[in-house]
Amino acid sequence: MRVKPSAFSGPLHLRELYGKCFTKTDDSYKYEFCPFFNVTQHEQSLRWNPYSGVLGVWQEWEVHNNTLRAMVLREGDTCGDRFRTVRVILKCGNKSEVTNVTEPHTCDYQLVFHTPLVCHPHALLVYPSLNTSLQEEWDLIEGRLLNEELTKQGYEKSIRRLFERAGLYMSEAKRVEQKKKIIAKEEHDDELETGDFHSLEKCSKQDVKKMFFHYPDSWFEAITSNTKFYSLAAIFDTRIIGIIVSEVKRRFKCNREDADILASSFPLSTEVAYILSLGVVETFRRCGIASLLLNSLLSYLLSADQNNCKAIYLHVLTTNVSAIRFYERQSFKQHSFLPYYYSIHASPHDAYCYVLYINGGQPPWTFTDYMKHIGDSLARLQPCLLPQRLLLTAQKVWRRVITGTIAPKPPPVHHS
């Protein structure tokens, strides 16, 4: 996310929503609303790089007539020359759920969230949500307005400052501070973009070994000299900050637990790519470097020279949640669970196998796939027409039988 979400504010009974997330899926997208945090959008597509991003980060409330009208989430992902925003409308409902997501204007979204927490007529009133001191201050402001000690404009400014102290509005000072942080982060990202990518054999052995200190020297020699390995390093200021290493091999050379990553219709000579390592230095994580490295591998494997490669797969610890989320955002699908796959410090650890299918590759058929295939085949046969076809066939046979029995015999031939 470009910015950090604001702190919780508003009626205390809404704190029940804090830390929870609610999803809605339609034909094209999956939306996830995490109250007082953010709204994300994930494209439901089979292409290898579907969109997945942030539509908005929790900022402040929209207040009208001293009632909380909507949650405002700004500073989402870039959208042309601006950034995405979301208004979240809270409505009474039997359960907490996202019921509708629209885009009234380009890059500006509106999400409707139903919840029983706002069904009370006073559930979204501002005054009851304030602490005692702010309520007393509000009373004084109302009194000054009534006594004509404040103009209407002065009253609105005073109420706004009160709302800012309550955390309902974002103050101008906080906006300026947030803008400075955004600019600093963008400048840092621009510096990263001036970095470079090199194959590992062109990098310093010492730098590479720092990234792979837990691997033997023989492994390092293999990945930098053997053409079956695809290896790339991200360089920043002459220092390696990220690396990807992948091995392209034929299917029959896969380990037993990975031999079924492709459908049985693909021959054993079909090529697959195994990601041995993808890592980024901790201080440079969440800057898009891992995505750039992975995309470079994908571009290589999607080229005309590599179109026989039908899948990319990898193994990841079941406890490595951040890595799992990263690969799922890149459209990798969990293929199998591998108990006790890793041995770390003599302790067994479980793993998942994740696969991304490319160049027309397909996963093995499941029971559901077989049933769907049978259903499609029956649909093509038009089973509802079978009784009619059988009846017509029976009628034809019966006519032939009847015609054969009543046909006159040919006259006898008399020989003189």
Q: Residue 132: its pLDDT value, please?
A: 94
Cβ neighbours of residue 308 under 8 Å, at least 6 residues apart? 270, 271, 359
Computed over every residue of the chain, the mean pLDDT equals: 82
- Is 345 assigned a catalytic role? no
Contact between residue 219 and residue 245 where contact means Cβ atoms under 8 Å apart? no
Average pLDDT over residues 380-407: 63
What would the DSSP string read from start to end of 126-171?
SGGGS-HHHHHHHHHHHHHHHTTSS-HHHHHHHHHHHHHHTTSS--
Residue 3 has pLDDT above 90, yes or no: no
Q: Residue 306: its pLDDT value, please?
A: 73
- State the Cα–Cα distance between residues 161 and 140, nearest whole angstrom: 14
Q: How many helices (H) and strands (E) does the chain have?
A: 9, 17
Q: Is the dihedral of CA 141, 142, 143, 148 positive or negative?
A: positive
Residue 217 has pLDDT above 90, yes or no: no
Cβ neighbours of residue 280 under 8 Å, at least 6 residues apart? 234, 241, 242, 287, 289, 290, 293
- State the Cα–Cα distance between residues 30 and 44, nearest whole angstrom: 7
**Is the model more confident about 180 or about 25?**
25
Q: Is the dihedral of CA 83, 71, 32, 8 positive or negative?
A: positive
- Is 64 assigned a catalytic role? no
Average pLDDT over residues 104-132: 94
According to CATH, the topology of domain 196-357 is Aminopeptidase (3.40.630)
**Is the model more confident about 221 or about 150?**
150
- Give the DSSP letter of residue 187: H
Q: Residue 95: its pLDDT value, please?
A: 94
Strand extents, DSSP E, 259-332:
271-280, 309-317
Q: Residue 187: its pLDDT value, please?
A: 56
- State the Cα–Cα distance between residues 86 and 97, nearest whole angstrom: 16
Torsion of CA 38, 43, 47, 49, to 10 degrees: -20
Q: Residue 139: its pLDDT value, please?
A: 94
- State the Cα–Cα distance between residues 376 and 82, nearest whole angstrom: 46
Nearest Cα neighbor of 61 from 73, 49, 75, 52 is 73
Query: Of the spans 27-31, 306-310, 338-342, 362-366, which averages the highest pLDDT?
Result: 338-342
Tell me: the pLDDT tens digits for 6-53? 999 999 999 999 989 999 998 788 999 999 999 999 887 655 556 778
According to CATH, the topology of domain 12-130+166-184 is Cation-dependent Mannose-6-phosphate Receptor; Chain A (2.70.130)
Query: Which of 274, 313, 341, 357 is flagged as catalytic?
Result: 274
Query: Which of 31, 169, 313, 315 is flagged as catalytic?
Result: 315
Q: Residue 53: its pLDDT value, please?
A: 85
Q: How many other CB atoms sit within 10 Å of the CB of residue 45?
A: 13
What would the DSSP string read from start to end of 86-107?
EEEEEEE-SS-EEEEEEEEETT
Name the pTM for this structure: 0.49
**Is the model more confident about 282 or about 403?**
282
Q: Residue 384: its pLDDT value, please?
A: 61
Average pLDDT over residues 328-351: 90
